[in-house]
Amino acid sequence: MGLASDLKRLRNVECKDKCVLSVYLNTGPNQQGDWNIHLKNGLKRIGEYLEASGNEAQQKSFKKMRKKVEDELGKHRNDLARSLVIFASEENDLFETYYLQHDVETAFHWETKPVLEPLEALQATYPSTGVILTNLDHVTVLDTSLGHIDAAFSFAFDPETEEWVRFEGTASGDRMASSSSQVDKFDRRLAENLNRFYRDLAQTVEQMKGAHDWEGLVVIGEAELANSFRDELRTKPERVIHKNLSKSSEPKIIEAAFH
């Protein structure tokens, strides 16, 4: 399920009394380990507030959630992204974690429901989107959310069957070594059938859009190829970007797709 579905579900979480711990923690390289101090101090302040309130039920619940958060950070302290968002509660056994590639403002909340506004703002900037990188003999479809590539699905042209072959991972577009005459024949057959291949693949992308709960599509590639693929899509893309980024880094692709 995509983030949009997660947010919809999280909006429905609410208790009569305070029961939900929301953690927004900046863990980027510029923190130089200070995130651990911010985590301890933030959780300590909530604990002290609950002790002063005398609400033993909340104290007990908070201590359980605090331990789950600290255990989560302990397991992943060496492979953290730039920020971490956690929603934890005994209500419905809630424990949702999001490792993000964008900075968030560090904050800790103990409320009757999850504090979602910062995550919703980030999701509005980087909605769940299918990003299609078009090339002549391969197409890569990226499943993105919150400005991060969650999965890559590549479709390469098989000259033997003249069909697209799907596999997970990043397509390199490399072909087996062959004579120049074989390559020329391959390129000619591919060019002659490109519209048909793109038409079939566009239908697959439309199915993926529903399966991955994408809010939109972005097509990136050299002008002729990107425009050809756009024309085969039933869903109008949010953007069509005329750049060849098939060998570019993840941050560069995300930057081009969303800005």
CATH fold group of domain 126-258:
Nucleotidyltransferase; domain 5 (3.30.420)
Query: What pLDDT is recorded for position 184?
Result: 56
Using pLDDT thresholds of 50, 70 and 90, give the confidence band for residue 187: low
Q: What is the mean predicted confidence (pLDDT) over 52-75?
A: 95
Q: Is the pLDDT of residue 171 over 60?
A: no
Strand partners, 122: none
Name the pTM for this structure: 0.75
State the residue for tokens 């859009």: 209
pLDDT digits (tens, 9 = 90+) for 90-140: 988 999 999 888 889 999 999 999 999 999 999 898 999 999 999 887 899
- Using CA atoms, how far residue 117 sits from 22, 85, 105, 159, 215, in Å, is 11, 12, 12, 50, 19
| Element (DSSP H or E) covering residue 136 | none
Q: Is the pLDDT of residue 176 over 50?
A: no
User: What share of the chain has pLDDT > 70, as a percent?
Assistant: 87
What does the alpha-carbon distance between residue 201 and residue 149 come to, in Å, rounded to a whole number?
20
Query: What pLDDT is recorded for position 20?
Result: 97
pLDDT digits (tens, 9 = 90+) for 189-204: 666 677 888 898 999 9
Beta strand pairing call for 129-134 and 83-89: unpaired
Query: What pLDDT is recorded for position 49?
Result: 96
Q: What is the dihedral sign for C-alpha 144, 148, 153, 159?
A: positive
Q: Is the pLDDT of residue 182 over 70?
A: no
Q: Which of 86-95, 147-156, 213-222 has the lowest mean pLDDT?
A: 147-156
In one-letter notation, the amino acid at residue 35 is: W
Q: Is the pLDDT of residue 144 over 90?
A: yes
What does the alpha-carbon distance between residue 223 and residue 31 come to, in Å, rounded to a whole number?
41
**Structure-block tokens of residue 33:** 């380990």
Q: What is the mean predicted confidence (pLDDT) over 69-76?
A: 93
Q: CA-based Rg of the chain, rounded to a whole angstrom?
A: 23
DSSP H helix total and E strand total for the chain: 7, 10
Query: What pLDDT is recorded for position 168?
Result: 63
Q: Is the pLDDT of residue 170 over 70?
A: no
Three-state DSSP class for 114? Answer: coil
**Structure-block tokens of residue 61:** 């619940």
Q: What is the mean predicted confidence (pLDDT) over 164-168?
A: 75
User: What share of the chain has pLDDT > 90, as a percent?
Assistant: 61
Q: Is the pLDDT of residue 7 over 60?
A: yes
Cβ proximity of 132 and 229 under 8 Å:
yes
Query: What pLDDT is recorded for position 172?
Result: 40
Q: What is the CATH number of domain 3-124?
A: 3.30.960.10
Mean per-residue pLDDT of the chain: 87
Using pLDDT thresholds of 50, 70 and 90, give the confidence band for residue 77: confident
**Domain spans in the chain, listed from the N-terminal domain onward:** 3-124, 126-258
